[in-house]
Each structure stands twice: as C-alpha cells, then as structure tokens.
C-alpha cells in the first residue's frame, strides 16, 4: 500500500465483504470511517478494526439518501483530513419471479445497489478532484456480466453499475491519479443470504465453491497499492465475457433450474429481509452457523443468485474449451 493511501471510507461496512475489508485495512494501520444503516453492526466491526491495529470511526448512513451520503462524505473527509480510497460495498437482493415480487421491492434493490453507489461517487469524486487523487472501488459481482433469472432487479443493478463505472472512467481521463476500480467476485460466503428478500416459497441455500470475504478484502487492499479497472475473483475474466455472450441460453437454463429448485427446496414464507431496515444486532463477516455474530447481515451478494451466475460462467468456460 502506498504510504499516502491510508485514509479509507467504506459504505456497507457492518458485515460481509465490507467488514472483512475494514479489518484488512485496519491491519495495515489505516484510519477508517465505516458507514452503514445499523449502529450495532458498525460498532462491532469498528471494535474489531481497533483491535487489529487501525483507527475506526462510524457513521450511520443510508446510501439511498443522496443528501445523507454527502454529509457522511464531508464528515469523513474532515475526520480523516482527506480520503484516499472509498469502497462502495452496499448491496441487497430479492429472490423470486419478477411478477411475484412487489414492485416496491424491485425499486428498493435498484435504489440501494445502483443509485446508492452513484450517490457515493457523486459525494466523493469532488473530494478526489480537490485533492488531485483518490480511488473509488465499486463492488459489483459476477452478476454484472451474467444475468440470473429470479433476480431481475439485482441483474439490472449490477449491469448498470458496470456501465456507470465505464462512463466515469471516460469522464475522468484528465485526472490520471483518480481511479475507478470494479470488483467482480463470484459467490462469496457472507451473511447476506439471511437478509435477502425471498418470494420463491423455498428456503434459500448456499451453492458450493464459495470465496471467503477475506479473499475479496485482500483484493480491495491490493487496489490501494495498484489500482486497476477490473478485478475478477473466482472465475477467469475471459469466461465471464464468454458467459455474457451466451447469456440468452444461460438465462433460459438457469430459469429452468430455479423453477425446479423452488419446488424441491424446504418451504419458506415470503420476506423482505433487511431491505427496508438494518439488522437488529451485529452481523459479522461470514455466514457461519455457529456464533450469533455471523448469522445475519446485508452484504454484496445474494448467495443463491451469485451461485447461479457461477453456473453460467461455467457454461462460458465450457464454450471456451470447445472454441477452435
């Protein structure tokens, strides 16, 4: 990490990848401002950051509120004396056939996953321009390349984030020391699955092959030292490009898979999860099944949906092997 890249802001920091990244930066001795909706989760992670050797302050903020994000950014800048890296990690999901999910829930996913990240960028990029440098890390996911049936709004938000970052990089060409960095992990073992909205009638479960939140966190920390436009974790970028090319076929196959899965899985009642309110208590980094700290959280991915995207990426890899 560059010596000057020590003042870190993370939104969505109370759990999952955001929490793991906060702790990873803290181990580097960084100064952090952590933002999320829930005080209990933030205080828990801030305490872990201090124990790891960093300095951490918290700010309660809902990224769907543009004015609140601007205030949060200004307070973070004043508290830290500047911002070297801002990590936008807020992400929610709702699982279900498009017409089975209330439109208000679809709207909430777009507000948090897409407009929330846009609000972050709109607040921090002027600070970067005043400083002459800065790194904005945009957590997207494999869902920015491969669509997932039963997650229409999630797919729209992630594809939108990818286009948004590309547009920003074009506008910032005259600012060589301001970087927009996208991160695309596959399925990550975070507590997000317990907080997803669910209208499938079936209990959500994890697919195999999970990345750890710490692995994603390490990749974000590396971006502080060496920014790059695109970071893919868990699958080759070429596979994602091929999977994107095969999207119509992959989407049809995944729709059939999800239809069959929802009929066989353990039943569950409809829920909005934590889309409209933060968790009641601390959430932790991984999903886990032991400590209460690990049982619930918002995070960057809905595990089942990203698992579906992994399958689509696998289809892309098979196509790559068959290509002449």
Highest mean pLDDT among 91-95, 200-204, 207-211, 251-255: 91-95
| pLDDT for res 262 | 66
Q: Which residue has the tokens 């692995």?
A: 215
Does residue 248 carry a pLDDT above 80? no
Query: Is residue 164 a part of any domain in this protein?
Result: yes
Count, residues in the chain? 324
| pLDDT for res 157 | 97
By annotation, the residues acting in catalysis are 154
Lowest mean pLDDT among 110-114, 156-160, 259-263: 259-263
Could you read off the pLDDT of 14-56 as tens digits, one per residue? 999 999 999 999 999 999 999 999 999 999 999 999 999 999 9
Lowest mean pLDDT among 46-60, 81-95, 254-268: 254-268
Does residue 224 carry a pLDDT above 90? yes
What is the gyration radius of the CA atoms in the chain, in angstroms? 19
What CATH number is associated with residue 226?
Answer: 3.40.50.720
Query: Is residue 214 a part of any domain in this protein?
Result: yes
Strands laid side by side in the 7-11 sheet: 55-60, 31-36, 7-11, 85-88, 134-139, 178-185, 230-233
Enumerate residues 6+ apart whose C-beta is below 8 A from 275.
92, 94, 105, 108, 109, 112, 195, 197
How many structural domains is the chain composed of? Answer: 1
Query: Is residue 1 a part of any domain in this protein?
Result: no
| pLDDT for res 271 | 72
**pTM (2 d.p.):** 0.81
Structure tokens belonging to residue 129: 């321009």
| pLDDT for res 125 | 98
Quote the percentage of the chain above a pLDDT of 70. Answer: 73
- 148 versus 159: the higher-pLDDT residue is 159
Query: Is residue 163 a part of any domain in this protein?
Result: yes
In DSSP terms, 188 is beta-bridged to 211
pLDDT category of residue 300 using cuts at 50, 70 and 90: very low
Domain that holds residue 129: 7-322
Measured CA angle at 299 (ends 293, 303), to 5 deg:
100
Structure tokens belonging to residue 139: 């957590």
Closest-CA residue to 230 (of 157, 123, 144, 119): 144
- 171 versus 198: the higher-pLDDT residue is 171
| pLDDT for res 305 | 43
Average pLDDT over the chain reads 82
Could you read off the pLDDT of 89-116 as tens digits, one per residue? 999 989 899 999 999 999 999 999 999 9
Chain mean position to CA 92: 8
| CA–CA gap between residue 30 and residue 55 (Å, rounded) | 6
In DSSP terms, 271 is beta-bridged to 198
| pLDDT for res 142 | 87
Does residue 63 carry a pLDDT above 90? yes
Query: Is residue 279 a part of any domain in this protein?
Result: yes
| CA–CA gap between residue 194 and residue 275 (Å, rounded) | 11
- 89 versus 270: the higher-pLDDT residue is 89
Lowest mean pLDDT among 73-82, 112-121, 254-263: 254-263
| pLDDT for res 249 | 52
| pLDDT for res 259 | 61
How would DSSP label each residue in 62-113?
-TT-HHHHHHHHHHHHHHHTS-SEEEE-----EES-GGGS-HHHHHHHHIII
Could you read off the pLDDT of 208-221 as tens digits, one per residue? 677 899 999 999 99
Query: Is residue 2 a part of any domain in this protein?
Result: no
């Amino acid at each position: 990490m560059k010596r000057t890249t020590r003042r870190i802001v993370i939104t969505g920091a109370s759990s999952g990848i955001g929490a793991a990244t906060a702790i990873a930066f803290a181990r580097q001795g960084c100064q952090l401002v952590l933002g999320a909706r829930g005080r209990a989760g933030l205080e828990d992670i801030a305490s872990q950051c201090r124990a790891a050797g960093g300095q951490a302050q918290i700010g309660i903020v809902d990224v769907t509120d543009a004015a609140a994000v601007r205030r949060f950014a200004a307070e973070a800048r004043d508290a830290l004396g500047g911002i070297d890296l801002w990590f936008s990690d807020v992400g929610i999901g709702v699982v279900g056939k498009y017409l089975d999910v209330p439109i208000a829930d679809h709207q909430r996913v777009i507000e948090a996953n897409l407009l929330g990240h846009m609000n972050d960028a709109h607040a921090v990029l002027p600070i970067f321009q005043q400083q002459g440098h800065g790194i904005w890390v945009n957590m997207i996911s494999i869902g920015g390349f491969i669509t997932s049936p039963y997650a229409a709004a999630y797919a729209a938000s992630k594809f939108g984030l990818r286009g948004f970052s590309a547009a920003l990089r074009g506008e910032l060409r005259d600012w060589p020391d301001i970087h927009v960095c996208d991160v695309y992990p596959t399925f990550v073992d975070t507590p997000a699955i317990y907080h997803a909205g669910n209208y499938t009638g079936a209990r959500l479960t994890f697919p195999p092959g999970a990345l750890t939140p710490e692995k994603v966190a390490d990749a974000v920390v590396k971006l502080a030292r060496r920014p790059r436009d695109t970071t893919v974790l868990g699958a080759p970028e070429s596979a994602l490009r091929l999977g994107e090319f095969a999207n119509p076929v992959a989407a049809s196959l995944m729709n059939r898979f999800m239809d069959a899965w929802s009929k066989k899985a353990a039943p569950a009642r409809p829920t909005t999860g934590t889309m409209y309110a933060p968790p009641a208590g601390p959430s932790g980094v991984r999903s886990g099944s032991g400590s209460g700290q690990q049982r619930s959280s918002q995070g960057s991915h809905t595990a089942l949906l990203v698992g579906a995207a992994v399958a689509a990426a696998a289809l892309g890899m098979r196509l790559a092997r068959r290509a002449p």
